[in-house]
A and B are shown apart, each in its own frame.
Chain A
Amino acid sequence: MMGVAIIVVALTLGAALAVLLLENLLAAIAAASAVSLGVAVMFVLLQAPDVAMTEAVVGAGLSGLILALALRRLGLARLDVPTSGENTDA
């Protein structure tokens, strides 16, 4: 359990940092979904299958879908790196 815990925590923290640092917002949404998935795996390790299922379905699935749809409505959903405007300093 120790090795698995270290790997999952490291991946989750890395994905969380990627959410703040990635320029492309679509990639940031994918990283946020990865954070939710990592947290769901941690819930499984912590003997909470109910919560893990909720986190995987809601956090990684539905939340990513809502975010991506909102990004499309905002007109910012593009796969290439934005060249001008919408600059972030996170």
Chain B
Amino acid sequence: MRNLATLLFLGGLVFLLAAITGTLPFGHPPMLVGQAIQQAAKPEVGAANVVTAVVLGYRGLDTLGELAILFAAATAGGLVLGGVQAKGRNNALPAAGFVLRAGTDVLFPLLLIAGLYVVIHGHLTPGGGFQGGVILAAAFFLPLLARPSESLSHIWLSVIEGLAGTAFIALGLGALYNGDAFLTPLFDKGMFGELVSSGSLPLLYLAVGLKVGAELSSLLMRLAHDDGAAS
């Protein structure tokens, strides 16, 4: 009975999705908003990467909401999983082997540079705060894999996260002071295609990158903390 219902449901789902996609003109989208944004992005925002112009310039409020959701998820995960210091590290894992330790020492600065590059060049090339933030979180989590007895400071991570979030909102409020809408890009557009250009977009992405990196490394540390409760 249950399997029959499931089969019917899946058949209906396939039919529904096929019907929706059947009406889509593949390769020739109408692009009413997209066309306008592509023409306006270069003079208005000044970012070479149009996706970044949409994410931070035209839709900055959505990005703020996205950051809020990520913050809520990380906080709720921390609440549910419990504090790291509360139970202590009674049975910490033994240190990793030589290959992992040496590889970590080599990879850590490279990952740091790669993450910062991806964050700072978010308005010129593919990438940006979210991707770079994840790379930064991975860079800071790697030493914990090699040396399980060490641990990052949760206080510092919280301070970085809070400062980055405050900076994002302060940049948004600065636009209000100028008489524009919330999160309108500030400052001079600069030379198109240069590293220092398109106003406050690189600063916004730097804030996003630091916030995402701090949140995710804190979450990874909580998950990695094995208190030996499960079998």
Contact = CB atoms under 8 A, between A and B. Distances in A.
Interface of A: 49-54, 57-58, 61-62, 65-66, 69-70, 72-75
A62 B230 contact: no
A27 B220 CA distance: 21
Contacts of B135: 57
A75 B231 contact: yes
Contact of A69 (B51, B131, B224): B224
B49, B131, B137, B216 interface centre (most CB from chain A within 10 Å): B131
Interface string B107-127: 000000000001000000011
A70 B51 CA distance: 33
5 residue pairs, one from A and one from B, having the closest CB atoms: A75-B230, A75-B231, A49-B126, A69-B223, A50-B51
Interface of B: 49, 51-52, 118, 126-128, 130-131, 134-135, 137-138, 141, 216, 219-220, 223-224, 226, 230-231
A20 to B, nearest CB: 13
B213 to A, nearest CB: 11
A87 B224 CA distance: 25
Contacts of A58: 130-131, 134
Given A54-B130, A57-B135, A62-B216, 20 more contacts: A50-B49, A50-B51, A50-B52, A50-B126, A53-B118, A53-B126, A54-B131, A58-B130, A58-B131, A58-B134, A62-B137, A62-B138, A65-B220, A69-B224, A70-B223, A73-B226, A73-B230, A74-B230, A75-B230, A75-B231
A10 to B, nearest CB: 18
24 contacts: A50-B49, A50-B52, A50-B127, A50-B128, A51-B51, A53-B118, A53-B126, A53-B127, A53-B131, A54-B130, A54-B131, A57-B135, A58-B134, A61-B138, A62-B134, A62-B137, A62-B138, A62-B216, A65-B141, A66-B220, A69-B220, A69-B224, A72-B226, A75-B231
